[in-house]
């Protein structure tokens, strides 16, 4: 038995990681690829060792489902103590990501999604009564006290929202640090963390800001394929870089704690971020290399070299099972154990369309035609020698590098034909507070 920490630095580009995380020790994988372009499908692959299309968790179903027991369940069944801290509302109890975890906590802005108690919807009530001035806060207090919610937890949550909204510019890293320091981990333990500092809206604490940045006009109402003045584009890129610099400093403190508590610490990004390449912003569209080529580092293995095999985040699932001593007698997914060198096998990437919330947003903005343009399936393939080829929205196959395979697109099509698609499940209704958080993150 052993102890493993898995840390997802949400939305961290590979080039930004190389620039700001030189301090991070461990074995680095030069050519690691995410199986998809955004949080939900990539996490489903991490927890199952399957491609997103095989998990039933994708653009049209954010509820986490799996045809097999997910990673935390497997580890829990083997006697590991399982813990999670997620700053991302999409990776919360609300959507079923707590399966197999003994404890599942989150940052202040995602606690309403992770909460077991019936918490009063403060943000939704105040937003509904925004035209009533300061009096709306008294009305909200009365509505809380007179409702059927759990009163004490609701009051605590309301005070925390009020305090942190006006005083704290942190997406959860500081709370994650406190969580790690305050938890007495067992000798055999698994910890999952998701940190959101590199994610939009790119607002680190004031002392880290070198530019003043407000969200791009129309960004939330589009599919993030917007023409942007180059001067403003540079401001956005610098705001992102400021956020990554802050994330690096906070994670250095978190990593110091984790490396003292755990035998292995796996650090990765679930996807990257487009910063104007090909006119695309964010991570809602396509399989561009800025989205799929991601950082991956494993501390705790022998040596600290940089390895150049082409690997996938899908491999992390089997790697963790191997670290925990779980053998081949049960389901292990498609991945490989990265503790030893692996063959130069091609790796797929998948784009399975725009999420349903984006469709509603576009319809409300009178831009429904954009949805049909971008709501389609696309695939990509990564092979040795830094080759990456992917389908784009113009029905072209875009390639970079030199493939060691003949006809890589044909190999990609063969691999796609071999996928064991799992039909997506009906998604759940989310609360007003969760929907508001999804809107703030640009997903809805």
**What is the pTM assigned to this prediction?**
0.86
What is the average per-residue pLDDT within 80-86?
97
Give pLDDT, residue 65.
82
Q: Are residues 264 and 195 in the same domain?
A: yes
Q: Residue 167: which pLDDT band, with cuts at 50, 70 and 90?
A: very low
Q: Are residues 161 and 290 in the same domain?
A: no
Domain endpoint, select from 136, 151, 167: 167
On the question of pLDDT at 168 being above 50, the answer is no
What is the average per-residue pLDDT within 197-205?
91
Q: Which residues pair with 400 in a beta bridge?
A: 388
Which CB contacts under 8 angstroms, 24+ apart, belong to 375-379?
A: 375/59, 376/351, 377/350, 377/351, 377/352, 377/353, 378/286, 378/287, 378/350, 378/351, 379/287, 379/348, 379/349, 379/350, 379/351, 379/412, 379/413, 379/416
Query: Which of 104-108, 213-217, 404-408 comes out lowest in average pLDDT?
Result: 213-217
3-state secondary structure of 428: coil
Q: Are residues 99 and 122 in the same domain?
A: no
Domain endpoint, select from 144, 167, 190: 167
What is the tens place of the pLDDT at every residue in 373-396?
A: 899 999 999 998 789 999 999 999
Q: Domain range holding 142? A: 111-167
Do residues 129 and 144 make contact, with C-beta atoms less than 8 angstroms apart?
no
Q: Are residues 136 and 283 in the same domain?
A: no
What is the average per-residue pLDDT within 79-99?
92
What is the tens place of the pLDDT at every residue in 228-284?
A: 888 889 999 999 999 999 999 999 999 999 999 999 999 999 999 999 999 899 998
Q: Which run of H or of E encompasses 435?
A: helix 432-440
Q: Are residues 154 and 248 in the same domain?
A: no
Q: Are residues 120 and 192 in the same domain?
A: no
Q: Are residues 188 and 142 in the same domain?
A: no
Q: How many C-beta neighbours within 10 Å does residue 207 have?
A: 7
On the question of pLDDT at 437 being above 90, the answer is no
Q: How many C-beta neighbours within 10 Å does residue 330 have?
A: 11
Q: Are residues 291 and 392 in the same domain?
A: yes
On the question of pLDDT at 113 being above 60, the answer is no
- pLDDT > 70 fraction of the chain, expressed in percent and rounded: 82
Q: Are residues 382 and 350 in the same domain?
A: yes
Q: Residue 92: which pLDDT band, with cuts at 50, 70 and 90?
A: confident
Q: Are residues 152 and 287 in the same domain?
A: no
- pLDDT > 90 fraction of the chain, expressed in percent and rounded: 58
**Exposed (0-12), middle (13-18) or buried (19+): which is 217, by Cβ within 10 Å?**
exposed
User: In the predicted model, what is the mean pLDDT of the chain?
Assistant: 86
What is the tens place of the pLDDT at every residue in 290-347?
A: 999 999 999 999 778 999 999 999 999 999 999 999 876 566 678 999 999 999 889 9
Give pLDDT, residue 166.
46
On the question of pLDDT at 154 being above 90, the answer is no
Q: Are residues 284 and 393 in the same domain?
A: yes
Q: What is the CATH number of the domain that holds 330?
A: 3.40.720.10
How distant, in Å, are the alpha carbons of 17, 164, 233, 240, 369 from that of 243?
A: 12, 18, 16, 5, 33
Q: Residue 24: which pLDDT band, with cuts at 50, 70 and 90?
A: very high
Q: Are residues 430 and 320 in the same domain?
A: yes
Q: How many C-beta neighbours within 10 Å does residue 161 have?
A: 18
What is the average per-residue pLDDT within 394-402?
93
What is the average per-residue pLDDT within 176-197?
96
CA triple 56-386-24, angle to 5 deg: 80
First to last CA, the chain: 42
Nearest one of 118, 48, 51 to 352, comparing CA atoms: 51
Our count of domains for the chain comes to 2
């Amino acid at each position: 038995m052993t102890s493993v920490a898995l840390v997802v630095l949400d939305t961290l580009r590979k080039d930004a990681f190389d620039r700001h995380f030189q301090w991070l020790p461990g074995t680095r994988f030069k050519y690691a690829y995410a199986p998809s372009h955004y949080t939900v499908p990539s996490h489903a692959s991490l927890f199952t060792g399957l491609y997103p299309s095989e998990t039933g968790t994708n653009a049209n179903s954010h509820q986490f489902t799996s045809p097999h027991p997910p990673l935390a369940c497997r580890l829990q069944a083997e006697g590991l103590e399982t813990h999670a801290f997620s700053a991302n509302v999409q990776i919360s109890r609300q959507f079923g990501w707590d399966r197999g975890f003994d404890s599942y906590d989150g940052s202040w802005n995602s606690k309403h999604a992770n909460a077991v108690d019936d918490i009063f919807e403060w943000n939704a009530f105040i937003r509904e009564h925004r035209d009533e001035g300061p009096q709306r806060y008294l009305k909200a207090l009365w509505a809380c006290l007179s409702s059927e919610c759990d009163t004490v937890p609701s009051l605590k949550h309301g005070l925390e929202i009020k305090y942190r909204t006006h005083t704290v510019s942190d997406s959860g890293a500081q709370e994650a640090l406190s969580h790690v320091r305050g938890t007495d981990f067992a000798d055999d333990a698994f910890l999952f963390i998701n940190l959101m500092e590199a994610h939009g809206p790119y607002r680190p604490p004031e002392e880290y800001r070198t530019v003043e940045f407000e969200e791009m006009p129309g960004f939330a109402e589009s599919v993030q394929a917007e023409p942007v003045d180059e001067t403003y584009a540079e401001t956005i890129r610098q705001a992102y870089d400021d956020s990554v610099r802050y994330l690096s400093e906070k994670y250095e403190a978190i990593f110091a704690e984790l490396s003292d508590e755990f035998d292995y610490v796996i650090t990765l990004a679930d996807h990257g971020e487009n910063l104007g390449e090909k006119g695309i912003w964010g991570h809602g569209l396509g399989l561009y290399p800025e989205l799929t080529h991601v950082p991956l580092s494993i501390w705790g293995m022998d040596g600290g070299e940089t390895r150049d095999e082409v690997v996938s985040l899908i491999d992390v699932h089997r790697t963790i099972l191997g670290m925990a001593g779980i053998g081949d007698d049960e389901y292990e997914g498609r991945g490989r154990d990265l503790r030893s060198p692996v063959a130069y096998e091609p790796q797929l990437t998948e784009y399975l369309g725009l999420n349903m919330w984006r469709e509603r947003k576009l319809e409300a903005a009178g831009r429904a035609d954009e949805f049909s343009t971008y709501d389609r399936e696309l695939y990509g393939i990564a092979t040795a020698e830094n080759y990456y080829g992917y389908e784009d929205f113009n029905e072209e196959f875009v390639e970079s590098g030199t493939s060691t395979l003949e006809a890589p697109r044909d190999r990609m099509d063969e691999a796609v034909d071999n996928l064991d698609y799992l039909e997506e499940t009906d998604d759940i209704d989310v609360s007003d507070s969760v929907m508001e958080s999804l809107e703030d993150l640009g997903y809805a």
